[in-house]
Amino acid sequence: MVSKIEVVQGEGGVGTILELFFLPGRKDMTSYKEKCTMVDDEKRVKETEVLEGGFLDLGFTLYRVRYEVIEKEEKMCVTRVTIEYDVREEFAANVALVSIQPIVVIMEAVARHLTQNNPN
């Protein structure tokens, strides 16, 4: 779904801006920029907010994603993802586009990479 991610500004913490590019052929979105607005290492929580493009081009006035990593066992965790959004009334039909599925695909790919490259 995502062809590449570029760091526009920052080093991964609060204030970092990324631009995510989608694979060619997607008509509703080609890319968007998101900013890391909150990181709480102690609680294992991170929030990002779309700054430009993407959902904002589809009538949304806010699109925020919150990630919470919840430890289950020594080498196991669950990630809770929450999407918060506001959309202008005339674009209310676009709410159907909101889904955690793209995030799940990315998290599954990261999990495969980490488990294949970390024998412990």
Catalytic residues: 46
Quick one: 63 exposed, middle or buried, by C-beta within 10 A (0-12, 13-18, 19+)?
Answer: buried
Give the DSSP letter of residue 5. Answer: E
**CA–CA separation, 69 vs 7, rounded Å?**
23
* 82: CB partners within 8 A, 6+ apart: 65, 66, 68
* 7: CB partners within 8 A, 6+ apart: 16, 17, 18
